[in-house]
Amino acid sequence: MATFTLLVAAIVIVMCHADKEVNMGSGSTNCGQKPIIMAKEEKLSIHSKGNAKDGFCSIVLHAMEDTSANCPYRSFCVAVNQMTMSSCSAKIFLTGTSYDVLGIKSKEISCFTNIYGAWCTQSKSLEISVLEDPKTTASNYGFNMTVMSECRQTSSGEFDPVKDSTSKKLDEIEAEMNQNRIIGVVVGISLACMFLIVMFVSYQYYKNKPTYRQQRDC
């Protein structure tokens, strides 16, 4: 637990100064645009004062491909520097995606939940979405957060304390599919053998039945 706390503290300190800035609030030109490519150790500042266009804004971040030995696993870390949520009028969703596993890793920020320290996910892509309540005429929220693209030496999947246990590797899915095919073939052959055995027993029964033998002798 102490190691995890130190790791989170180090991430927050490193993420204090971002290289780029993105506006997800009023007057934003970043919503719904092409994905932002982030190199390792690159930082991005994301802020909003509310009033997103049409009540919705979404941006996508992609980790720049890095095949070097010292960067085997890509991840994103998000730290909330400032959050104002005077009413439950909006929610922020963080969704991490890796393309060789089944499932996603997500985090919700709202008037009910927030990020204390940093939330990290081992993912190649990160989508950040802001959704405002359509019944609310005034946006009483604002935020400032920092996203950093990182490299990890070990595969831990989800650095948040709650791990995603639903994700499956592609080779695991293929192995399960092959196993299901084999089971299907075995079951089919077994049913066919049982049918032949029933047919053989029925034939022998009627063949040796007295009435059948009398009819055959006639």
**β-pairing verdict for 56-63 and 125-132:** antiparallel
Last residue of one domain, picked from the residues 148, 165, 182: 165
Phi/psi at 100 (5° precision): -110, 15
Same domain for 35 and 18: yes
Same domain for 114 and 26: yes
Same domain for 106 and 46: yes
> What pLDDT, on a 0 to 100 scale, did the predictor assign at position 53?
85
Same domain for 97 and 20: yes
Its pTM surpasses 0.85: no
Same domain for 109 and 27: yes
Q: What is the pLDDT along the chain (218 residues), one digit of tens a residue?
A: 444 444 444 444 444 444 689 999 888 888 989 999 998 889 999 999 888 888 999 999 999 877 666 777 888 999 999 988 878 889 999 999 888 777 788 999 988 888 888 898 888 899 999 999 988 767 788 999 999 998 877 776 554 433 444 555 556 667 777 888 898 889 889 999 999 999 888 888 777 766 655 555 55
Overall size of the chain counted in residues: 218
Picking from 126, 20, 124, the residue whose alpha carbon sits closest to that of residue 66 is: 124
CATH of the domain at 107: 2.60.120.290
* Residue whose structure tokens are 């047919």: 199
User: What's the rounded Cα separation, in Å, for the pair 165 and 156?
Assistant: 11
Same domain for 116 and 20: yes
Same domain for 158 and 51: yes
SS3 readout for 22-74:
EECCCCCCCCCCCCEEECCCCEEEEEECCCCHHHEEEEEEEECCCCCCCCCEE
Amino acid at 178: N
90: β partners? 132
Q: How many domains does the chain have?
A: 2
Strands (E), 86-124: 90-97, 105-109, 119-121
Same domain for 190 and 136: no
Which structural domain range is residue 43 located in?
2-165
Same domain for 59 and 161: yes
User: What's the rounded Cα separation, in Å, for the pair 67 and 46?
Assistant: 28
Same domain for 182 and 76: no
Residue 88 gets which letter from DSSP? S
Last residue of one domain, picked from the residues 165, 183, 201: 165
